[in-house]
Amino acid sequence: MTFFKRVLSTIVGIFIFILLCFLFIMVIGAAFGSSSKDQVIVKNNTILELKLDFPIQDYAAKTKIKDFPMLNDNQEIGLLSIINAINYAAEDDKIKGISIDNNFIDAGISQTKAIRDALLEFKKSGKFITSYADIYTQKDYYLNSVADSIYLNPAGVLEFKGLSTERLYFKDFQEKTGVKMEVIRLGKYKSAVEPYLENEMSEANREQIKVYLNGLWNVMTQEISESRNTTVANLNTIADNLDTRNANKAIASKLIDKVAYYDQYVNDLAALTNTDADDLEKISIKKYSSTVSKKRILNKSKNKIAIIYAEGEIIYGEGDEDFVGQGTINKALKKAREDDKIKSIVLRINSPGGSALASELIWREIELTKAVKPVIVSMGNLAASGGYYIACNANKIIAEPTTITGSIGVFGVLPNINKLANTMGINAQQVKTNKNTIMYSPFQPLDETQRTFIKESVSDIYELFTTRVANGRGMTQTAVKAIGQGRVWTGTDALKNGLVDELGGLDLAIKYAAEVAKIEDYKIREYPVFETNLEDMLSKFGLVKAKEVILKEELGEANYKLLKQIKSQTQKKGIQLLFPFSTEIN
């Protein structure tokens, strides 16, 4: 037995020694990581390759590795990094043009529009933009339609059919399983809980979905029509008839310019740069962005503008890269508020909302902050419900035309398994000292007294929510309730009804933040900064698989998304201010 113990201890010792050596090598590598060998060099006559097949977040969250600060090196790029790279390329003599290449873009419509707007600005430089794809998804084509020449593989497909979304309803399912959701809501459009109450979509919900889908589609078709020199009516006819479902139909519809294989496309790129195809110089947007970010670091200005990202569902607690918590957001606001070099703050919101309490706590921190320096809100894909709550008191609110916002309403949901428990032979018994000691049990039906108390709480929060909006937007509470009721609006409609001040992207918000701070030269500082641990760090090197990676591999992407939704439900505490339905648009 002693022999085996010694062997085991030797093996463990060797493993620890190898791990320490590996960490030492990484530290040395990080220390000398800026050597010329690792530097990205942009050669003359280079094409910037815009391949956006990675998840595009507003914020590629900065992380610090606990106990190993020398290894901090965030390689991901966010939306602002992409836009900055495109803007910089317009002035870079070494960049001759942009090639948009086989994207399957993983971004929201507002993020896609922001990149598209940057490409339109790039075209003013006189440099070319071309695009190629085997398959254009509808969102891909919206982006690619800015190109001077659009190529499609002879066996390829261009998806152009209009927008849609789908909801599942669970009323009968609840009756059959005995698992019921007890619902209290305020706002006839607050339809996040509608699937638990009905078997089909209400007219109010259908109305708001149709309005906002049409609003998004109108923006997309209007901009495509301008780039392709056609009419919106013609585009709708093409969509209705699916007139781009193969390459021949796509070119006949004049939505693409050339049917070609990729090697032929490369030859045409070479001709545009007066080089041979074998000598064609290309640089990816990720690599080019890293060179741009290094040049931005050289800016010696003492003035700073902070961008604080609130991206994800709002939960009560600390928050992380996936969830907005009052912990991390309020720390970032306080840090930016107390830093004399930071002259103004942009709060970038991309959130469907969530916890009412967390939203109120963030609202309060914004109140404290804007008393010291201006806070400008920039809305991304959506800033709805709790996402609008934390925006409403800013000095100025800027939204994209395609931003989904509003949803000023409140709901509470309590799971009830009384029927299932009875079926399974489970009988819950309670002992209590006072009448209302047990406010709610999932094993007992919700009685009228309990329902009255909960409804009172929901009503109180709705009154507080609408008061916050009224005070922040200079409106009466009656006017807020008239456009509230849980209804969602596009940015275009939100501008008309007073929920936002101006239409534009993150770049406009930054520009305005500089103007109100009366500064011309400044650096950008992005918050919050998250911490990671050794396990997560090693997983990036393939030595340890993160649990998320394992789950994705075992469950598949679709099932993993479902699991994340279930996890999100378990994170909910208290009454919710949440966007009324899934934002997945097809």
From the number of C-beta atoms within 10 Å of its C-beta (0-12, 13-18, 19+), residue 62 rates as middle
| Plot region of 503 (φ>0 → left; ψ -120 to 50 → alpha; else → beta) | beta
At 424, the amino acid letter reads M
Residue 564 lies in a domain: yes
Tell me: do 268 and 331 sit in the same domain.
no
pLDDT score recorded for residue 544? 44
pLDDT score recorded for residue 473? 97
Tell me: do 285 and 303 sit in the same domain.
no
pLDDT score recorded for residue 167? 85
What's the total number of domains in the chain? 2
**Can you give the CATH number for the domain in which 549 is found?**
3.90.226.10
pLDDT score recorded for residue 338? 97
Tell me: do 449 and 378 sit in the same domain.
yes
Residue 5 lies in a domain: no
pTM: 0.82
pLDDT score recorded for residue 572? 54
Residue 571 lies in a domain: yes
Low-confidence ranges of the chain (pLDDT < 70): 1-39, 61-76, 187-191, 293-299, 532-586
Tell me: do 399 and 503 sit in the same domain.
yes
Tell me: do 261 and 358 sit in the same domain.
no
Cα dihedral value 311, 313, 315, 319, nearest 10? -30
Residue ending a domain, among 292, 327, 352, is: 292
Tell me: do 354 and 253 sit in the same domain.
no
Residue 204 lies in a domain: no
pLDDT score recorded for residue 166? 86
Residue 418 lies in a domain: yes
Q: Residue 99 belongs to what H/E stretch?
A: strand 95-101
Active-site residue list? 190, 385
Tell me: do 279 and 340 sit in the same domain.
no
Residue ending a domain, among 261, 277, 292, is: 292
Strand residue runs (E) in 352-464: 353-355, 375-384, 396-399, 404-406, 410-416
Q: Token pair for residue 473?
A: 């937007």
Residue 431 lies in a domain: yes
Tell me: do 284 and 311 sit in the same domain.
no
Tell me: do 536 and 413 sit in the same domain.
yes
Closest CA to 133 of 98, 102, 103: 102
Residue 356 lies in a domain: yes
Tell me: do 573 and 501 sit in the same domain.
yes
Residue 187 lies in a domain: no
pLDDT score recorded for residue 14? 61
Residue range(s) defining the domain that contains residue 357: 299-578
Tell me: do 449 and 570 sit in the same domain.
yes
Tell me: do 562 and 432 sit in the same domain.
yes
Strand residue runs (E) in 142-239: 149-158, 180-186
